[in-house]
Amino acid sequence: MKHKPLTPKQKEVLDFITSFLNENGYSPSLEEIARHLQLRSVSTIHQFVEALEEKGYLNKVGNKQRSLEPILSEIEIPLIGFFADGEPIETFSVPEAIKVQRSILSKSGMFFGLKVKGDSLYPEGIGHGDTLIVRRQEKGVSGNNVIALVNECEAIARKIYKDKNGYRVKPINSKSRATRIKGLQIQGKIVGILPSVYRVKSKTRRLRDQTIELDTINTGDVLTLMRLIPDSSVHLAITSPPYNVGKEYDSHHDRMNYQEYLNWLDQVWFETKRVLVPGGRFALNIAPTGIKDFIPIHHDFIAQQRRLGMKFRTEILWYKQTMLKRTAWGSFKSPSNPHIVPSWEYVLVFSKEKDRLDGDPTAADITNKEFIQFSDGFWEISPETKRNGHPAPFPEELIYRLIKFYSYKGNTILDMFGGTGTVALVAQRTDRHFIHIDVSKSYNEVAEKRLKSVEKPLPLFNTAQYHRV
């Protein structure tokens, strides 16, 4: 359908209806639209709604309240790279196509998208993973929000004001005075912002006046709860996210579109970096998925972490030997199309900002024999057999090794996909604090029972039952 052009007020009404629907799951009433536009007359809003229906932008289902449905006309534009304020734009070798609503674009011009990396624009209400929609142009009008270059390579997002001597700039959503920057080169006008779908779904930004408590089992959305963890407060994060291969988790859909899956986890990795102390470690367990249709998910995770500025320290090969039968996959005894059956998983280890984790040397509790054994990157550990209703629980030995090798007593250990609580359990047994997060109430009930079963004073592990030392 070819839509007729909108007036500025009609576009404002349509944008509000669309954003309200995305955030709340239902459309606004006429009264709510009127309050947003600061209009007293609901009849005026009714006229706007009728005009949007006539122009093909809106459906009104029946005559009941909250029955407005935007007819969204989409167009594809290229997503050309990552944007971090004050840094060069990190362009993709091959731009990705993204869909945006035609209503936010002008009739003419060339448009592109930039995905925001990091939290440099957080004060502007623009978060990591959001996408800036930009119209290419080399000049700007006073009051425009633009992407510009400083020193020929440093990209910034600012509101500009033009005068006879050039441009003055200030932050997009700031009431501060504009300042002059010499040599400003405008690259384009910001015409819209697409919030990350996961920021919209969680309906919250980080709440700085609330914090999550230590040594607690927390049920809820991973992003919402991680935003309650204070900055630089976690020493070691250990997790294994859902692998997106269709496992039967209690409260998670494990068959997402792959790019959607990566986008979701990119938000989680960003929050993980935020909460880690300088030198804090992140141990990420993952395995390549698929045999016939091999997906190198571990490579994608490494690329995500490096884009966030995490230091890739090592990869541990966790040999599980889970092949029950030594049968051939693919072509038998032929090089035509044989398949390798993976009997291992990776533990990818990253650190934030620096290599060294500061701590009290007397709080290092790893033994000589353990250190020698654990520093060998080939860890032969059998999978966990007591599943407690979870499809893929951690074996306790794996967590024990990571905690003892990478943290001090008294440190805080985070598992943001905590499942039935193995990380929390081993942290408690080894005299560490823990933060456990999982969306499943039933998994968390199991975790609570496991933690209550730990005797006091906390016994050290009988390492002989876990390790060949």
Q: Using one digit for the tens of pLDDT, what is the confidence trace for 302-343?
A: 988 998 889 999 999 999 875 555 555 666 778 888 777 778
| pLDDT reading at 380 higher than 60 | yes
The hierarchical CATH code for the domain 8-70 is 1.10.10.10
State phi, psi for 239 to the nearest 5 degrees: -160, 165
Q: Within a 10 A sphere around the Cβ of 43, how many other Cβ atoms?
A: 10
Cβ-based burial of 358 (10 A; exposed 0-12, middle 13-18, buried ≥19): exposed
The hierarchical CATH code for the domain 198-465 is 3.40.50.150
Least confident of 72-76, 223-227, 369-373, 389-393: 389-393
d(CA 379, CA 400): 12
pLDDT given at position 149: 92
Which residue spans of the chain are classified as CATH 1.10.10.10? 8-70
The answer to whether 149 and 77 are in contact (CB under 8 A) is: no
Which residue spans of the chain are classified as CATH 3.40.50.150? 198-465
d(CA 237, CA 239): 7
Q: Give 308-374 as a 3 state SS string.
A: CCEEEEEEEEEECCCCCCCCCEECCCCCCCEECCCCEEEEEEEEECCCCCCCCHHHCCCCHHHHHHH
∠ CA 193-196-199 to the nearest 5 degrees? 115
d(CA 125, CA 22): 17
Q: Using one digit for the tens of pLDDT, what is the confidence trace for 360-372?
A: 999 999 999 999 9
Q: Please give the residue that has the higher pLDDT: either 464 or 102.
A: 102
Banded model confidence at residue 459, pLDDT cuts 50, 70, 90: very low
| pLDDT reading at 296 higher than 90 | no
Task: Out of 2.40.50.140, 1.10.1740.10, 2.10.109.10, 3.40.50.300, select the CATH number for domain 74-195.
Answer: 2.10.109.10
The answer to whether 417 and 364 are in contact (CB under 8 A) is: no
Non-local (6+) Cβ contacts of 191 within 8 A are 104, 105, 106, 111, 133, 134, 135
Q: Using one digit for the tens of pLDDT, what is the confidence trace for 97-146?
A: 888 877 677 767 899 999 998 877 877 778 888 899 999 998 888 888 99
Q: In what order do the strands lie in the sheet with 154-163?
A: 90-101, 74-83, 111-116, 131-136, 185-194, 145-150, 154-163, 166-170, 179-180
Q: Write down the mean pLDDT value for the chain.
A: 82
Q: Looking at the whole model, is its pTM more than 0.75?
A: no
**Cα–Cα nearest to 386, from 424, 421, 338:** 421
CA quadruple 183, 188, 189, 195: dihedral sign: negative
**Size (the chain), residues:** 469
Q: Using one digit for the tens of pLDDT, what is the confidence trace for 15-67?
A: 888 777 766 667 788 888 888 888 878 888 888 888 888 877 777 665 556 66
Q: Give the chain as a 3 state SS string.
A: CCCCCCCHHHHHHHHHHHHHHHHHCCCCCHHHHHHHHCCCCHHHHHHHHHHHHHCCCEEECCCCCCCEEECCCEEEEEEEEEECCCECCEEEEEEEEEEEEHHHCCCCCCEEEEEECCCCCHHHCCCCCCEEEEEECCCCCCCCEEEEEECCCEEEEEEEEEECCEEEEECCCCCCCCEECCCCEEEEEEEEEECCHHHHHHCCCCCCCCCCCCCEEEECCHHHHHCCCCCCCEEEEEECCCCCCCCCCCCCCCCCCHHHHHHHHHHHHHHHHHHEEEEEEEEEEECCECCCCCECHHHHHHHHHHHCCEEEEEEEEEECCCCCCCCCEECCCCCCCEECCCCEEEEEEEEECCCCCCCCHHHCCCCHHHHHHHCCCEEECCCCCCCCCCCCCCCHHHHHHHHHHHCCCCCEEEECCCCCCHHHHHHHHCCCEEEEEECCHHHHHHHHHHHHCCCCCCCCCCHHHCCCC
Half-sphere exposure of 298 (CA within 13 A, CB side): 21
Q: Within a 10 A sphere around the Cβ of 66, how many other Cβ atoms?
A: 14
pLDDT given at position 397: 93
pLDDT given at position 163: 82
Q: What percent of the chain has pLDDT over 70?
A: 81
**Cα–Cα nearest to 282, from 312, 246, 261, 253:** 312
d(CA 113, CA 194): 9
d(CA 169, CA 117): 22
Which residue spans of the chain are classified as CATH 2.10.109.10? 74-195
